């Protein structure tokens, strides 16, 4: 722990406001001193980071580089951005990508209704301005000389990208699921990711007041361009190991007893080895753990598993395949894989 963090932790304890508040006080003014401090600060935001994750975040801050985080859906990429913002005391600005997204939704748009309102309110003034114009051409020239009034920041409606660049305080910019956007929008982002500036035809080039920390996420639904990848530090976040997932459940759902948490993680890990349309994500594992708490389950039996399996799996074919897969494993699986399997422990079932 750094000296400034230790000091602010003591101040927070004295004031009774909690250490997370201290991070907000210091995070936006100091950089992480090493990757261990990154890991500790993310842990205080209830995010369990691997050494690889903490290393990439530390390098991104020191090298002023965006991060491209790829991996299956639901493994914690978006949560990483939230935890990073909390650990650094920055506001999180999120741009959710989708097919057809363009710069008017991501960067800015003009408030045409406001422009029209001002035009009506200033009608008399415009009439005075144009009253002594001798020709239509000279009237148009005079009006053109005043057009900057209506195409100024007063009428500009900033969207997430422009908000991140023009914010008076440093922010974390999350560009979520960039693989859902079109290749044209991906190309549009290159100027922002390399120079942290953007060009607005009516206003010129707008540079970032404070360079944001940028995290792009992708679920690998399509291949991203090499140009975008070159501008980013790359991070792949996969499904966690059994030990890591158990730690996540113990942290996020402490009400669940240890034995049941072990059983739940064991089953989820096994489900991911099956040929499913959609393997259960970490977020779905947490939903399942919360559901088990709500149901007051004490241990994992076959009935509990069968009635709650749809919390993990969202396709009926996956549910049927999972039930068959777990039964098959209980009949011939290695002992170490069967210790938490309700099918294996059911005395009514005979092993083949």
Residues 86 and 167 in one domain: yes
The CA distance from 218 to 175, in Å, is: 9
pLDDT bucket at 109, cuts 50 / 70 / 90:
confident
Mean pLDDT computed over every residue of the chain: 82
Distance separating alpha carbons of residues 279 and 270, to the nearest angstrom: 10
Is residue 300 a part of any domain in this protein?
yes
Report which of residues 97 and 350 the model is more confident about: 97
| 274 shares a domain with 341 | yes
Is residue 6 domain-resident?
no
Tell me: do 100 and 232 sit in the same domain: yes
| Alpha carbons 49 and 57: distance in angstroms, whole number | 10
Q: Is residue 11 part of a domain?
A: no
User: pTM of whole model > 0.85?
Assistant: no
Asked if residue 68 has pLDDT above 80, the reply is yes
Domain check: are 49 and 101 in the same one?
Answer: yes
The yes-or-no verdict on residue 34 having pLDDT over 60 is yes
Distance CA(138)–CA(147), nearest Å, equals 14
**Interatomic CA distance for residues 139 and 6, integer angstroms:** 67
Contact 122, 253 (CB under 8 A): no
Other beta carbons within 10 angstroms of residue 106's beta carbon come to 21
Q: What is the pLDDT of residue 153?
A: 65
First CA to last CA distance, the chain? 56
Q: 348 pLDDT exceeds 70?
A: no
- 144 to 89, 118, 151, 237, 261: CA distances (angstroms): 45, 16, 11, 53, 69
Q: Are residues 135 and 260 in the same domain?
A: no
**Which residue, of 156, 171, 191, is where some domain finishes?**
156
170 and 275 inside one domain: no
For residue 13, is it within any domain?
no
Q: What is the predicted pLDDT for the residue at 4?
A: 43
Domain that holds residue 121: 108-156
How many distinct structural domains can be found in the chain?
3
pLDDT tops 60 at residue 344:
no
* Residue at a domain's end among 185, 209, 236: 236
């Amino acid at each position: 722990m750094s000296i400034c963090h230790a000091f602010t932790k003591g101040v927070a304890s004295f004031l009774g406001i909690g250490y997370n508040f201290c991070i907000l006080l210091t995070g936006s003014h100091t950089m992480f001193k090493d990757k261990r401090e990154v890991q500790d600060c993310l842990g205080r935001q209830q995010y369990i980071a691997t050494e690889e994750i903490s290393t990439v975040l530390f390098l991104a801050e020191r090298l002023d580089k965006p991060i491209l985080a790829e991996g299956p859906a639901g493994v914690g990429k978006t949560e990483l951005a939230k935890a990073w913002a909390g650990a650094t005391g920055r506001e999180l600005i999120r741009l959710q990508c989708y097919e057809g997204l363009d710069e008017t939704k991501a960067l800015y748009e003009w408030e045409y209704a406001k422009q029209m309102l001002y035009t009506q309110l200033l009608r008399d003034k415009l009439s005075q301005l144009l009253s002594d114009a001798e020709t239509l051409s000279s009237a148009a020239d005079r009006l053109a000389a005043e057009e900057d009034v209506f195409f100024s920041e007063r009428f500009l409606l900033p969207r997430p990208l422009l908000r991140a660049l023009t914010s008076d305080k440093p922010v974390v910019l999350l560009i979520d699921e960039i693989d859902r956007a079109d290749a044209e929008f991906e190309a549009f982002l290159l100027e922002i990711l390399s120079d942290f500036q953007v060009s607005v035809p009516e206003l010129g080039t707008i540079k970032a007041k404070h360079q944001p920390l940028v995290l792009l996420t992708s679920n690998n639904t399509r291949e991203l361009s090499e140009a975008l990848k070159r501008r980013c530090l790359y991070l792949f976040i996969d499904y966690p190991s059994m030990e890591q997932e158990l730690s996540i459940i113990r942290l996020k759902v402490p009400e669940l007893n240890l034995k049941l948490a072990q059983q739940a993680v064991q089953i989820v890990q096994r489900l991911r080895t099956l040929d499913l349309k959609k393997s259960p994500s970490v977020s779905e594992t947490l939903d399942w753990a919360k559901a088990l708490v709500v149901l007051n389950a004490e241990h994992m039996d076959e009935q509990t598993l069968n009635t709650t399996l749809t919390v993990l799996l969202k396709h009926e074919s996956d549910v049927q395949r999972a039930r068959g897969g777990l039964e098959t494993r209980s009949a011939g699986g290695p002992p170490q894989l069967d210790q938490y399997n309700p099918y294996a422990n059911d005395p009514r079932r005979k092993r083949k």
